[in-house]
Structure 1
Amino acid sequence: MPLMASAQDADLKPCADCADAMTVVSWGGAYQTSQQKAYTEPYAAETKTGFTWDESSNEAVAKLRAQFEAGNVTWDLVDVEGPDSQRLCDEGLAMPIDFATALAPGIGGETPEADFGPSLINECFIPQIVFSTTFGYRTDVAAWNGAVPTSLCDIFDLEKFPGKRALEKRPKKNLEWALICDGVAKEELYTVLSTPEGVDRALAKLGTIKDQTVWWSAGAETPQLLADKEIVFGSTYNGRLFSVIEEQKQPVAMLWDWQVFDFDGWIVPANLPKDRLDRVMNFLYYATDTQRLADQAKYISYGPARASSQPLVGQHATLGIDMAPHMPTNPANQKNFLVNNIEWWADNQDEVEAKFQAWLAK
């Protein structure tokens, strides 16, 4: 098996009968830009494939369900987080993938299964990156009297760190953080959350800062709120915080304590017409090889899902800074961390979401 040492050396398979365009669903912002720079722009240059982007990943499950019910699936490739991929796979809306044949080997000839390792969380999910949700905070808050947050649980300390917070307007991650700061051990989190009392306990802890919290739906909101001084703390994706800190040079710092790791990747809608499916699979072989996943890290501080890509992560494409210290997988940044329980959230998302939204409305 020849080595794939660079983008130019990658094996781009012929695709004579493939569709000439794709509709790709992603998240917008810096992350989508990193996909375009690393994956779709070079692929389009070689194949002349047209790409249409839809920034609906946050609503992917509901919207894909609706497309199937209407008998009109317009999406060709969908970027989702791990739990949503599990739900779509369980419901038969995402196509199972034969990783051994659909994906490229690693740069040293590693099988796709060995190279992707634990990020292959189900048979429908093709991983791209490891990212985390964590907190940014302003470094110039006069009311803090020089104090600096060092712990996740400082989020709940309104006396020492007064000011507005921002949290995502859904339960995932917020419930885990609340229980951690209410004294629940990491290994007991999902045992506790599996009881109504456990969810109530997490909501009660969140209730201690509810009237000081701005609830966000889009990842771009927290960086903007921090930049505008409307909040002093805020959770969002680590890549969004990297942008506001390193690219915008705002007085903001990262709080990595108890960052929550997630896998993000592709699912292919089930039962696509052959010409569209052939194009998607041709693109996926190319876009998820060793070099391309490493290339994405030039544009955003998310760790590539392939082990063979990690040593190829270098400097930011425009800033010229070493990207390794900004990766959530950097050992210095993961002294305390959580990994979402994919199966638990797939099984409980709808019920817990309803309870959370009812609590928010009170």
Structure 2
Amino acid sequence: MRLSDLCLACALSAAPLAADELTIVSWGGAYEAAQRQAIIAPFAEDTGHDIEVDVYDGTWTALAERGANESWDVIDMLADQARVACARGLLLEIDPRALFSPEALQDFTPVGPDRCAVPQNAYARVMAFDDRAFPGVKPTRIEDFFDTRRFPGPRAIQRSPDGILEWALLAEGVPPEQIYGLLSTDRGLRLAFRRLDAIREEIIWWDDPAKPAEMLEDGRAVMAAGFNGRFFDIAQRDRAPISIVWDGRIIGIEVWAIAGTTDAPDAARDFIAHATTPVSMARFATRIPYGPTRRSAFDRIGLSPDLGLPMRAYLPNAPQHGGRVLVRDSGWYANTEELRQRRFRSWLDASE
């Protein structure tokens, strides 16, 4: 254990037990279950805080509408949603230098804490498929998601432009490093939606992140866009015949943030400090394959306590996956939210 992390652990264990109630907001499902086991339960045991966990859809608008009324304190957010929420004054500002030592701040990767958020894990939006639907040739690349002739059947896609626009341009042959630049233009958006037209009749929409894996398992879809941890969980725990295609994966960063209306700012900061130690990150990654955002956590990741699998091999940034990879541009997402949602709604309306 690093000296800075040892000091933090000692400080937490030495702190007087408090009766503060803390509401932590997350995403539900296997992801939340892993957080409860690896992060939330140990924090509650160490500090004596009463923890309630709530579920939301990941948007800053949910924070604006529900945060104050439901007494939210700590929120698990996408980095771009946290940027928007911070700019709108919905989050409590955090001084990273007060939470972390200089050594710890340098340990974060690929980005460090900012004034409203602390990176906690790296996930990937990936394509997965039902093995039973393709007994012969299997899908191996993002282009196959848009090829309904060779790989017929329904596709499960989030009712959102997020991720699918990047894939549409990848399927058009645009190099990963040019994707977000092109999507910043009208030409790029038109090109992406034109590619999406090719599968319009085969799309099944989902809003709950648990649904795409379920749709593959029960045969409602043959391919799906979703998050790598959800597909891993249903394939490994339920032995569902589901395979992940790592080509075109979009790696994003999850952050911890504090609601601006929190009644327990000190407890919230303590939780974030606890949740982003290398020990907590590694404990989380052994339960669900979302990579840590601190370098020193990687070597601590071992076998899944439930499945006995070497979890480092299943992380979205594991080198053996190969294929094309994009890093979700949180700046682009934060700055284009209204534009891409408007264009997406217009495209949806044209099909109804």
Q: TM-score range by the shorter chain?
A: over 0.9
- CA deviation string 1:74-119 (max 9, x = no partner): 210111011101111222222232222213x5xxxx7222111333
Matching residue of 1:156: 146
1:324 matches 2:312: yes
Matching residue of 1:206: 196
Matching residue of 1:223: 213
Matching residue of 1:115: 107
Match of 1:128 among 113, 117, 120: 120
Matching residue of 2:88: 91
RMSD over aligned Cα, in angstroms?
2.2
Cα displacement (A) at 1:189: 1.6
2:261 and 2:30 map into 1 onto residues whose CA distance is: 31
1:100 and 1:205 map into 2 onto residues whose CA distance is: 46
1:244–1:202 distance in 2 versus 1, CA, 3 Å: same
1:2 matches 2:3: yes
Are the counterparts in 2 of residues 225 and 231 from structure 1 also a CA contact under 8 Å?
yes
1:73–1:145 distance in 2 versus 1, CA, 3 Å: closer
1:123 and 1:295 map into 2 onto residues whose CA distance is: 26
Cα displacement (A) at 1:121: 6.2
Letter in 1 for 2:254: D
Cα displacement (A) at 1:14: 4.8
Are the counterparts in 1 of residues 18 and 48 from structure 2 also a CA contact under 8 Å?
no
**3-state SS, counterpart of residue 81 of structure 2:** helix
Matching residue of 1:31: 31
Matching residue of 1:80: 77
**3-state SS, counterpart of residue 229 of structure 2:** helix
1:305–1:235 distance in 2 versus 1, CA, 3 Å: same
- CA deviation string 1:34-91 (max 9, x = no partner): 11101111121222211111111423x11222357xx757210111011101111222
Unaligned runs of 5+ in 2: none
Cα displacement (A) at 1:149: 1.1
Equivalenced residues, count: 349
1:282 matches 2:270: yes
- Following TM superposition, where does structure 1 have runs of at least 4 consecutive aligned residues deviating by more than 4 angstroms? 3-7, 13-19
1:101–1:37 distance in 2 versus 1, CA, 3 Å: same
1:354 matches 2:342: yes
1:20 matches 2:20: yes
Matching residue of 2:155: 165
1:18 and 1:89 map into 2 onto residues whose CA distance is: 28
Are the counterparts in 2 of residues 13 and 282 from structure 1 also a CA contact under 8 Å?
no
- CA deviation string 1:135-188 (max 9, x = no partner): 1111122xx461011111101111111111111111111111101111222222
Unaligned runs of 5+ in 1: none
**3-state SS, counterpart of residue 108 of structure 2:** helix
1:162–1:13 distance in 2 versus 1, CA, 3 Å: same
Amino-acid identity (%): 29
Which has the larger displacement, 89-98 or 201-210? 89-98
